[in-house]
Amino acid sequence: MARGLPPLSWIRTFDAAARNGSFTAAAEALGVTQSAVSQQIRLLESWLGEPLFQRGARRLSLTPAGHALRPHVLSALDTLEAGTRALSGGAARSQRVSLRCAAAGAIYLLAPIFAAHAAETPAVTLKVSTAIWPDDTADPGAELEIRVGGDAWPGFDALRLTEETILPVAAPETAAAIGGDPDALAGAVLIDVVGYETGWETWFAAQERPAPDAARRLAFDNEALAMETARAGGVVTLGRGSLVAADLASGALAPAVDRPVAVSEGYVLLKPSGERLAPPAAALARRILAAFDRPEPPAGWV
């Protein structure tokens, strides 16, 4: 059901006029013309059916209806401000960094970087938005993005972070049952992680074998979910080298067939083309690049 509310712009204009005691001063505060303020006040008064201001020679004053309305307006605007500050991190934009990345990359590659950055820059609020699909709009205003792909990124400046391989991985007991045999792997339940350009067809083609029927495959849209399911046993996922390295080292996952295949896709650090990063975002970009043993951001980035 639609709410019976006047437009927020009218409410903001009423608040500015009440605070400043003048339509001219309210217009300056809002960055609009005096006639626009007058018009919005007239529209609000018409909507309410009550005059809100007495127009004096030098200063506006509130009518009884205006006095009755004002505390409700102040309370509502305070609530909106508190809510939007909470979502934005409660910090001035110059002391915020907004980064958008795929969920699996955030969990397996970036979490230690975020923790170190927060410890060393406590005055800067870091806002991280995770996305599944490349065109998700979780945070369309992000200063930095980390995506998976090749080298062509229209509209962005790109710095490669990882060179990737794909490798079939599973829980150790599942990997042991397959025993490194590609034919046994073809008969296992495989997890497809959709959204990549390369997948099981790529890996089996490198073994000069056809990929198995999709009927015995699971389709997930999230690499982190695929890895967690593989750890549970009974299925095999096609791990990206940078993401599964820690699980392979710890023994949580094992190669089902130890034949990694190099692919062109990798993790890439992005920023909008033609824009220089503000100092807080530039500091985070340097930290990310250093963590992946990459050089400093080039000219045009900072």
Domain check: are 121 and 169 in the same one?
A: no
Look at residue 139 and tell me whether its pLDDT is greater than 60. no
Residue 299 counted as domain residue: no
Say which CATH number the domain at 137 has.
3.40.190.10
Domain check: are 195 and 254 in the same one?
A: yes
Residue 82 counted as domain residue: yes
Residue 298 counted as domain residue: no
- Domain range spanning residue 284? 93-156+266-291
Domain check: are 15 and 42 in the same one?
A: yes
What is d(CA 92, CA 64) in angstroms, rounded to the nearest whole number? 37
SS3 266: strand
Domain check: are 182 and 239 in the same one?
A: yes
Residue 270 counted as domain residue: yes
Domain check: are 205 and 237 in the same one?
A: yes
Number of domains in the chain: 3
Query: Residue 202's pLDDT band (boundaries 50, 70, 90)?
Result: very high
Domain check: are 64 and 184 in the same one?
A: no
Say which CATH number the domain at 31 has.
1.10.10.10
The per-residue pLDDT for 59 is 80
Domain check: are 60 and 136 in the same one?
A: no
Domain check: are 107 and 17 in the same one?
A: no
Domain check: are 241 and 186 in the same one?
A: yes
- Weakest-pLDDT range from 103-107, 239-243, 282-286: 103-107
Residue 297 counted as domain residue: no
Residue 3 counted as domain residue: no
Look at residue 299 and tell me whether its pLDDT is greater than 90. no
Residue that terminates a domain, selected from 58, 87, 116: 87
Residue 28: which region, alpha, beta or left (left: phi > 0; alpha: psi -120 to 50)? Answer: alpha
Question: Over the range 207-228, which residues count as b (16 or more CB within 10 Å of their CB) and which as e?
Answer: eeeebbeeeebbebebbbbbbe
Look at residue 2 and tell me whether its pLDDT is greater than 70. no
Look at residue 135 and tell me whether its pLDDT is greater than 60. no
Residue that terminates a domain, selected from 53, 87, 121: 87
Residue 221 counted as domain residue: yes
For residues 113-125, give the mean pLDDT. Answer: 89
How far from each other are the two terminal CA atoms of the chain, in whole angstroms?
A: 48
Average pLDDT, the chain: 88
What is d(CA 276, CA 272) in angstroms, rounded to the nearest whole number? 9
> Quick check: 15 and 30 in contact, CB under 8 A?
no
For residues 38-67, give the mean pLDDT. Answer: 89
Query: Residue 56's pLDDT band (boundaries 50, 70, 90)?
Result: confident
Domain check: are 37 and 121 in the same one?
A: no
87-112 residue pLDDT tens: 655 545 557 888 989 888 999 999 99
145-197 residue pLDDT tens: 999 988 888 888 999 999 999 999 999 999 999 999 999 999 999 999 988 88
Q: Cα-Cα-Cα-Cα dihedral of 245, 246, 251, 253, to 10°?
A: -60
Look at residue 131 and tell me whether its pLDDT is greater than 70. no
Residue that terminates a domain, selected from 87, 111, 138: 87
For residues 55-83, give the mean pLDDT. Answer: 85
Residue 279's CB: how many other CB atoms inside 10 A?
12
The per-residue pLDDT for 188 is 94
Residue 180's CB: how many other CB atoms inside 10 A?
14
> Quick check: 151 and 270 in contact, CB under 8 A?
no
For residues 70-77, give the mean pLDDT. Answer: 88
The per-residue pLDDT for 60 is 85
Task: Give strand pairing partners of 168.
Answer: 238
15-40 residue pLDDT tens: 989 888 888 888 888 888 889 899 99
Domain check: are 169 and 257 in the same one?
A: yes
Domain check: are 23 and 109 in the same one?
A: no
Residue 300 counted as domain residue: no
User: Model-level pTM greater than 0.85?
Assistant: no
Query: Residue 123's pLDDT band (boundaries 50, 70, 90)?
Result: confident
Residue with tokens 């083609």: 205
